[in-house]
Amino acid sequence: MRIVHFLTHTHTCNGNVHVAVDLACIQAKMGHSVSVISGGGDFDSLLAAHRVKHVVIDLKRTPGNLVVAIRKLDAALSLIAPDIVHAHMMTSAVLAAAFRPVLKFKLITTVHNEFDRGAILMGMGNRVIAVSQAVAEKMRRRGLHRSKLRVVLNGTIGSPRLSSATPAVVKLMRPAITFVGGLHPRKGLEDLIEAFQKVSARVPSASLYLVGEGPYRSLYEQWTARIGLGDRIRFCGFQADPRTYLNASDIFVLASHAEPGALVLVEAREAGCAIVATAVDGVPEMLDYGRAGILVPPKRPDLLAEAIVALLDSEPALQEMRRRASANLEHFTVERVARECLSVYAGALTGSSDESGVSLDQRGGGICRSSGRGEPHYGESSATNHKA
């Protein structure tokens, strides 16, 4: 199969890019002819090592540049003659849709960020992959016909982006609480910092490590200094391999207000962190509906703090949550994600409505995986009586 993964860029620190790069490398390893078209980025050597051709086209959305980009895109797609173009961003989906009638490929789109207003444009695909059941259901409610929707839950285990070598060891002050992600309000950083104020009053030895960058970093740094926690909350910047911090942490916390299918949750699980996260969007699915982490309501720093303190106050509880986070990870491999996407491609090419592993729930009109995991439930531990 000739496959093109199409993005506006391939820079690190972007979940859409990470998913696309993983898919391209693994699908090429499976024997398919795979290309990436993007505005360029940080994975050229990795793609080349996996025999993935990278066609760099500047896709900045300015009138003059787009005219040139469209010409170059026409030439690239005509030369590749793909069976499938898999678009991971809105601009790439719109541009690919314009070429589909002429070049006769099937367009697959992935909705990574349903909360974006323009995400409905991803509905132009012949098939639309949602990264969690929650995202699929939200897209259906926004008007996308359920016959197009397929669910392929995110996974990162075995990612070619992460070296198979043991990551470097960093020494953290214990107990160590860690967050990995963009430093902006959607990730609930204000809630997390407010929760840590309460945690530090109860557990004075605790430290919070914020791994990542974002436009609000300086504001968060000023706030933590103003409330007297500048020496307890450490801003660690972007880390190409977050396992360096996750492997040294006791608890991973994700306080997001919206989080379609956070890859970092799988990375935290694989590292053996106990996990506390908000029960939003795809987070419960990434945590086996509460079996692999404590779920709390979003925008409730008080309950977030209670869940963290409950773990820090009880070594047996902490170790049990670490054990549960590490269990049942076989479903979260990049190979499984690649196989399920290939099944979606094949269904689009043949017109099949029943691709293996990614199906629609005919019983209740909702959308579900056919993975044998059973119905969602929220019955285990935490402040809500059961992440981003």
**CATH entry, 176-326, from 3.10.310.30, 3.40.50.2000, 1.10.10.10, 3.20.20.105:** 3.40.50.2000
Please tell me the predicted confidence (pLDDT) of residue 353.
64
pLDDT band at residue 370 under the 50/70/90 scheme: very low
Over the stretch 265-287, which tens digit does the pLDDT of each residue have?
999 999 999 999 999 999 999 99
Percent of the chain predicted with pLDDT > 90: 83
Please tell me the predicted confidence (pLDDT) of residue 361.
44
Over the stretch 198-237, which tens digit does the pLDDT of each residue have?
999 999 999 999 999 999 999 999 999 999 999 999 999 9
**Residue with the larger pLDDT of the pair 375 and 88:** 88
Domains in the chain: boundaries: 2-151, 176-326
pLDDT band at residue 240 under the 50/70/90 scheme: confident
Over the stretch 337-354, which tens digit does the pLDDT of each residue have?
999 999 999 999 998 765
pLDDT band at residue 375 under the 50/70/90 scheme: very low
pLDDT band at residue 162 under the 50/70/90 scheme: confident
The architecture (CATH level 2) of 2-151 comes to 3-Layer(aba) Sandwich (3.40)
Please tell me the predicted confidence (pLDDT) of residue 126.
97
Q: Is the pLDDT of residue 64 over 80?
A: yes
Please tell me the predicted confidence (pLDDT) of residue 63.
81
Please tell me the predicted confidence (pLDDT) of residue 167.
78
pLDDT band at residue 382 under the 50/70/90 scheme: very low
pLDDT band at residue 61 under the 50/70/90 scheme: confident
The 3-class secondary structure across the chain, one letter per residue, is CEEEEECCCECCCCHHHHHHHHHHHHHHHCCCEEEEEECCECCHHHHHHCCCEEEECCCCCCHHHHHHHHHHHHHHHHHHCCCEEEECCHHHHHHHHHHHHHHCCEEEEEECCCCCHHHHHHHHCCEEEECCHHHHHHHHHCCCCHHHEEECCCCCECCCCCCCCCCCCCCCCCCEEEEECCCCHHHCHHHHHHHHHHHHHHCCCCEEEEEECCCCHHHHHHHHHHCCCCCCEEEEECCCCCHHHHCCCCEEEECCCCCCCCHHHHHHHHHCCEEEEECCCCHHHHCHHHCCCEEECCCCHHHHHHHHHHHHCCHHHHHHHHHHHHCCCHHHEHHHHHHHHHHHHHHHHHCCCCCCCEEECCCCCCEEECCCCCCCCCCCCCCCCCCC
Over the stretch 167-186, which tens digit does the pLDDT of each residue have?
778 999 999 999 999 999 99
Q: Do domains 2-151 and 176-326 have the same CATH topology?
A: yes
Task: Indicate the average pLDDT of the chain.
Answer: 90
Over the stretch 328-339, which tens digit does the pLDDT of each residue have?
999 999 999 999
**Residue with the larger pLDDT of the pair 363 and 321:** 321
Q: Is the pLDDT of residue 288 over 90?
A: yes
Please tell me the predicted confidence (pLDDT) of residue 62.
85
Q: Is the pLDDT of residue 357 over 70?
A: no
**Residue with the larger pLDDT of the pair 237 and 386:** 237
pLDDT band at residue 355 under the 50/70/90 scheme: low
Q: Is the pLDDT of residue 6 over 50?
A: yes
Over the stretch 34-49, which tens digit does the pLDDT of each residue have?
999 999 999 999 999 9
Please tell me the predicted confidence (pLDDT) of residue 55.
98
Q: Is the pLDDT of residue 364 over 70?
A: no
Q: Is the pLDDT of residue 307 over 90?
A: yes
What global pTM score does this model have?
Answer: 0.88
